[in-house]
Amino acid sequence: MNEPGILERAARPFGLAGAIVLVFMMLFTTVTVLMRQLLDVPVLGVVDIMELSLVALIFIAMPGVFLRDENVTVDVIDHVLPRGSRIALRLFGLVVALGFLVMMMIHMIPQAMDKWNYGEVTMTLSINRFTHWVPIMFGFAMSTIGTAWVLVHYIRHGVPKDPNLDRESFE
């Protein structure tokens, strides 16, 4: 097995953090269901906690996807294009993704600050809604840095070969 590259090693903590949040969500859900069914004890704030946990799960793990360059893609024309064209399209896609992430961050900051300024809270536990924006902003900031890093890494070291497309018979 190949030694993981620097991008893979950088992505691991994000995946691990997402896995920890997912395990918490599963255990918390199981405990609340058992308490309700076996002990007839309702747990207040389940929706508030699960809502915040889901936001954390998605946006804390998101930078790992960008660092691994594993975003969902559709390879409609990849099988007919030469490797050089595929590399150019991949680099173009990274530049577009980077622009999209920056644009999203610029538009999210005022929304997050509104939650901070107006003190909107969740219904049951009164968790400040700005708290939900912390993992969102973290995820987008780290994804932006990760995408820029992947782009620079690919330009310096080359785009890795795709085992499905870059077999010797295609060259």
Domain chopping of the chain, boundaries: 6-170
Count of beta carbons in the 10 Å neighbourhood of residue 102:
14
Q: Cβ contacts of residue 59 below 8 Å, gap of 6+?
A: 135, 136, 138, 139, 140
Backbone angles phi, psi at 128, to 5 degrees: -60, 130
Q: What is the pLDDT of residue 167?
A: 66
Task: Please give the C-alpha separations between residue 65 and each of 95, 113, 118, 122, 136, in angstroms, as whole numbers.
Answer: 16, 27, 33, 29, 15
What is the Cα 6 distance to its own chain's centre?
Answer: 18
Q: What is the pLDDT of residue 63?
A: 97
With a cut of 80, say whether residue 107 has pLDDT above it.
Answer: yes
* Mean pLDDT score, 83-108: 95
Enter the DSSP assignment of 160. Answer: P
Share of the chain above pLDDT 70, in %: 94
How high does pLDDT run on average in the chain? 91
Q: What is the pLDDT of residue 20?
A: 98
With a cut of 60, say whether residue 170 has pLDDT above it.
Answer: no
Render 2-13 in DSSP notation, one character per residue: PPP-HHHHHHHH
Task: Please give the C-alpha separations between residue 142 and each of 53, 79, 135, 156, in angstroms, as whole numbers.
Answer: 18, 32, 10, 21
Q: What is the pLDDT of residue 168?
A: 53
* Mean pLDDT score, 105-130: 94
CA-closest candidate to residue 77, choices 67, 88, 66: 88
With a cut of 50, say whether residue 171 has pLDDT above it.
Answer: no
Task: Please give the C-alpha separations between residue 113 and each of 31, 52, 107, 119, in angstroms, as whole numbers.
Answer: 35, 18, 11, 10
Q: What is the pLDDT of residue 9?
A: 95
Q: Distance between CA 99 and CA 144 in Å, rounded?
A: 9
